[in-house]
Amino acid sequence: MTPLFDHRQVGRAFSRAAAHYDEAAALQREVGERLAESLPYYEDAALGARRPQVVLDVGCGTGHATAMLQARWPKAQVIGFDLAPGMVRESQRRLHVRRGLLDFARRPHVLRADALALPLREASVDVIFSNLCLQWIEDLPAVFAGFRRVLRPDGLLLVSTFGQQTLVELHEAFAAADAAPHVSPFVDIARFGDVLIAAGFRDPVLDRDVFHAGYADLPSLMRELRTLGATNAMQDRRRALTGRARFARASEAYEAFRRPDGVLPATWEVIYAQAWGPAPGAPIRHAGVDEVRVPASQIPVRRR
């Protein structure tokens, strides 16, 4: 089966965007801050007022959330992973500068890694935080299986992703211009929750926000997306530049969405999910059947 996304292109696009990403990432920061509002649940006194030892930021970008997590838990080992080498370098640079300001007891580690192949031991992480990264991964069951593998029992998983209504106006405008894919497909909240439950996570809670941004014209929106690195990375994308005629048709179609105040809207649907790491041996839903995995060391042996 051909992957939906060209992950090399995803890495290249975000590497190119790294130096200027924060200039256009107001929404990403807002979503990250809203996601972080659930972090105190890990410290709940009913659970023993815990402090995590290892915290993971998946898709760390320029390190904004990585720094926030390290400032919240100064003695924890905070690790940031990102697929894009340029983002890793920019995050390392910025975290080095921020360290003196935030007085970290430890320095965060930022490394290049794929969310689908986390280079960590089983049950080695207390908190997994991932803000607006998973929309670039088509195999959600695989990524959630990886999260479950590295998360400790009763560890906290906090993730956000873009939902199905994201950039619906842009999708419709380019669909009127040609049949080539220009906008990534985004997940439905029901499917996102189903995959989370199927992976065996405990007590999942899902929420959603819908944000509306405004632009003067289509080129303004496209410039912002390029600044963010959010360019077309689908495998079957058109490899040549969008011609003037096609772009003009898309711009004309987008005009149908112009509001009375003269602004062209762009919708961003955000899905938030919180869940807890299950106990060892908890079932994984596989093809509608509970599959239970028990470590061999925990299987009692009757000795005669």
Under CATH, which number does the domain 7-166+185-211+268-283 receive? 3.40.50.150
Residue 238 has pLDDT above 70, yes or no: no
Edge-first strand order for the sheet with 77-82 is 109-112, 77-82, 54-58, 125-131, 151-162, 264-276, 202-215
pLDDT digits (tens, 9 = 90+) for 90-142: 999 998 755 444 444 578 999 999 999 999 999 999 999 999 999 999 899 99
Mean pLDDT of 235-247: 63
Question: pTM (2 decimals)?
Answer: 0.87
pLDDT at 103: 46
Q: Characterise 32 by phi-psi region: left (phi > 0), alpha (psi -120 to 50), beta (else).
A: alpha
Q: How is the chain split into domains, by residue range?
A: 7-166+185-211+268-283
Residue 279 has pLDDT above 80, yes or no: yes
Calculate the average pLDDT of the chain. Answer: 86
pLDDT digits (tens, 9 = 90+) for 248-258: 999 999 999 99
Residue 292 has pLDDT above 60, yes or no: no
Residue 194 has pLDDT above 70, yes or no: yes
